[in-house]
Every structure is written in structure tokens, then in C-alpha cells.
A and B are shown apart, each in its own frame.
Chain A
């Protein structure tokens, strides 16, 4: 069993590691290699919808109640431990809103009376689960694709680039392609009703792939799109009803990530180059050689190979695709860059969580965690975007410099 034996004192309370995402929540214990559970970030409701996403909160009081209920469910159904007096590691998005952090902190410290919480930004956590300290993180979230450079353990915040290319955008694209490419049902209204968000997601997870660049070129030419090249597939709706789709529905949706000709540059390879060009010149080559893919949508088969291929093509000596952007053209179209990608020990969707569990099992939790007393005294938790926490005292704990 992969329980980490190094901290095997039987009475020790393993810290809980939480990563509450917009779509899924991962929870488990420090020192373990995979989360105990990954569940939707939702609470049950009595109304017709049956559930509510945590991210749909109205105000902080509403969020507070939802988080209380959600964490209760998490602790009682999955973690099966008493929350009180147990340490917690929270892996959080770099761009978590203040209202979210403050409310989550209040729920953890006041309602659940946890002792100490270590707040780790997810990029730092993701990087530490490679055991290196430099990475260009390409995070495929549910809303956005974020590219976050981390160099020697420092997040280069000014270099972060995000675009709405996450699972939501993908699913929208996928649905419109599915609607147009159904072979055994042409009734659009009926298709629209069958293809619920859950079904579209299921098709993305099970059927979609990131195709090769040569086939991507074929997708652009209508005369090449034939059923012999793009084999159709059957999708079961409910045991009796099947939908048959044109094979192109498997390969075309992921092309939203690779539209290099788009003036706005919303292709992931171009975003990567943009980020590199913002970063200090000394960091560019190490970052390019340490690309790290995180996030659940980043698990589509073929993604890593295609991304590397595209980057290579874009930066080849003879490349002319960067013409739209003379700065990128000058900096990168010289074949000097070698792009490499991490082969991490866990699947991309658990990268950040694993970082949290690595920290949680060490002394870092006690050293850098924010304890209940601090929160009760100051009523807030330190945040990188809040300048009053820019000072750190001799104990390594943050000091409030004003107010």
C-alpha cells in the first residue's frame, strides 16, 4: 500500500489536503499518493435542479452556508475524520477571489475549528510534485487555460496568460460539432435535448482526442473529410437509443486550442510563446524545456505530442507562421528553442493536489501554515495581492506592516 510510512506514528493526525476547484474537488490526506475522493464541487438542494455549484454563490453568507454543508459532506462521507483540531492544506488557485478565500478561511477556522491551514497556490504545488522548481505550467481548467511560469520556485506573475479555452469552451465547440455531424438523427431539437452537458462531457472524456497536425490540416479541407478517413462511432444514450456521429467529432473540437492563424493568438502554442517572451530572457530556455501540463482536460490522448509538435513547427528556422507578431517572430523563429515536457508521476488532474500532500507531510505545515490564532487576531489570511503582507518576520510567518 502506498501509504507513506515515514510518518507512521499511529496517533498522528494526518493533515487533510483539499483542492476545491470550480468543477471538481479533490480531497485526501497528506503523505498519500492519490486523493481519497474526487467529487463535484456541488451541494445537494431540495429544488428541481437537485444541486448547486459552489461557484454559483450569491454572496459571502451564501457561500459560507454552502461550504459548511459541502465540507460536512466531505468529512463525513469520504474522509471519515473529525475536522476539529486537524491540520488542513488548501491548494488554491492563484486567482482565487478574496471573498472565496476569506469565506473558506472563516468556515475552516471558525466553523470547523481546524488548528492550522497551509494555503498553497496551485502553481507552486504543481511544480513541487515534479520535485523540480522550474516549470511552465499549462493548466487546463474548467473555464480557462492558464499559462503560469514558475522559475526557481518563484511564480512570475507578470507572465501569466489566460484565455477562455477550458472545458466549458471545449464542450460548447464539441456540442455544435456533434449537432452538425450526427449520422442517424437529423432532428436538431431532439439532438439538443439528448446532448445534455453531462453527455457532452462524457463524449469529451471518452471519445475526443487531440489529432495529429497532418490530420488537423485535412479537417480544414472539406473534400478530405470522408467517413473512411474519419471513422464514425456509436454513442449509447440510454441502453436502447444510440447516436452515431461522424468521426470528425472526435478530432475537430480540440482544434480550438490550435488555431494558430487567429489574430488574437488564442492558440495554446502561441500563448506559450507569448508567456516566454514576457518572461526575463534568462528564464526562457529553462521554462521552454520544462513544460508541465496540469488540469483534467489536459488528459486528452495526444495532447502532449501535438503541443510539442506545434511549438517545434512554430519556432522552426523557416517558420513564417509568426509573421503576425514580429516580436515573437524575431525571438522564437530561429530554431534555438528546445521544447520539452514533464512526464510527472501522477495524472495531470492530480498534480496540484499531490503538491499539497507533499507539503502537508512535512514541517512546512507548521512553519508556514496560518494558525487559528493568527486568523482570529487579524480576521484575514495573507494574500500575495495584498501589499500589507509583503513583509515576513524572522519566524517566517507574515507580518502585517500597516493597519
Chain B
């Protein structure tokens, strides 16, 4: 491990814990896939399978008070930030015990006490929200930073460029983490942009940036350590591009006809969990111990599904709650309907 990381090595026990975090996301998404295939997940389910190292490597450097925003592919980020898997799953299957009482679902997970300020279903829509959270922290003299995960496809949206410009201008404490998985839905990166590297978008705005192998947990961990430290120091925003691969379809049920068998095999060979496992084996961690970590994660998530399923269904009487906050507005029939 020391060969990979010069500074800030968290130590073997922490690497094992982070390895377990990779597994927890993998097992969580496996459960979501099964639930979705069984028709228990209303709407769309976008899995982060294959991209776990980005979530784990970045969130390892975040505290509860730091704001996290994510995209439609956000389960891994929310879990890595420390939110409760049972409440997340309950939300994803639409229970009243879910994080958002069934008002949000997979694409709108919010866990405010844990600093998860929201996933969004509008590609790119989360970017200025994160900048705004960073602005609030700056204005209120708080030490917290704001982190936003988004896909390579989001860089096609004007709002990405508007937000980067504004964040650099105002020197906002925001970390932009692009998970460049080479696809926006069924369209490859080559087909949706002539700019090869997302990192390059930082240059004209003078924003600090780096590209890292997003399937290599220690590499992401180290890059994110540097990036978060820099953002925390008040040096302004940072763009971290993580090159990664979607091991599953765009959503559960996507047959992926647009990807060749060879491509999918190559992606599987780059699995971040297998990679980390090889690293840890190289550091003389016993195979049995690593297998046990994976199995524990699988058991945990199976239990989490059982717990989520046991939650009460969403309550139809709550359908008109939370539209407005001011009591006068809730009571006014002109507002409700």
C-alpha cells in the first residue's frame, strides 16, 4: 500500500474498513437490482455497481456537517457518507419509514442530519445547489465544504459551465466529482462531446483539477484527500475527474445492446473490489478475512431489505404534506388544490 500512497496512509485497518464499504455498496445495489426486477421498486433504479471506489474514496474525507449532493446514480454516495441502509432501502421501495417518507425515492434521497442534501433526477441540476450550499457555508463562516457527484454527461449542460465559472469567481468551497463512466445513458462519451477529458473544462476557468483512476480505491482516496484539503483551506473549488465504468446497465432492465461482449468483459476485469482485494492480499491480509468482509456486507444488506420491507407502506394521508411549510399556506385550499 505504501507504494501507492506516500502521504496520509490511513493504515491497514482503515483500508480493510473501506474495502468493506465497497462491498456494502455492491451488496446494496445487488439488493436494489433484485427488488427492482421483482417489481418492488417504483420508477427507475440506476445502480452504481462498478463505481464504488469513487464513492468510498471521496466520502472517506467527509464529515456529517459537509454537504453532499448527488445524481440519479447516487445510492453509493449516500451509503458511503454514512446514511442508514435500512432507511435508504425503505425509501427506495416507497415506505413511510424511508428517509423521505416515500416522497422522494431512489433519485431524491435526502438525509439532512447526515449532510446528504439530495440526489437529483435532473442531470446537472445538482451542480449549482452544491455551489449554493458552499456559498452558505462561506457566508456563515462555517468550516463545512460541499461535494457534488455527477456524470460525464452532465458536462454537456450549460449549467455545468455556469456553475464552475461562478464557483471560481466566488472562490466557493465546493468539490466537483465527475464520475466519468464513458456513457450518458446509451450514448458514449465520444458521441456526446469532442472534449476528451472532463478535467480540461477546469482550465479556462482557472480551477484546480485532477483526473484519477476511479476504479483504484487508494488512488481515489489520495486524490480526494488532496482535493478536500485544498477546498477546506479556502483555496476555492476543485474538479476531480474519476475514470470509471458502469458494470450494470444505465438502469435496471437496460439490456445494453450498445455495448459489446468484449467491452463488458473488460469492464468486469477492472472491478474495483477485485482490484482492492488483490492489493490487500499483497499486503498479506488473509483471503478468508477478505471473504468474510464481503459476506458480512451481503448479510447486512439482506437484513436491511428485510427491515425495510417490514416498514409501513407510505401513508396516502401524507400525500399533501410538505408541499408548503408555512401553516397558513397548508391550510389554504387555494394552495393545496
- Is B truly associated with A? no
Interface, chain A (partner B; CB < 8 A)? none
Interface, chain B (partner A; CB < 8 A)? none
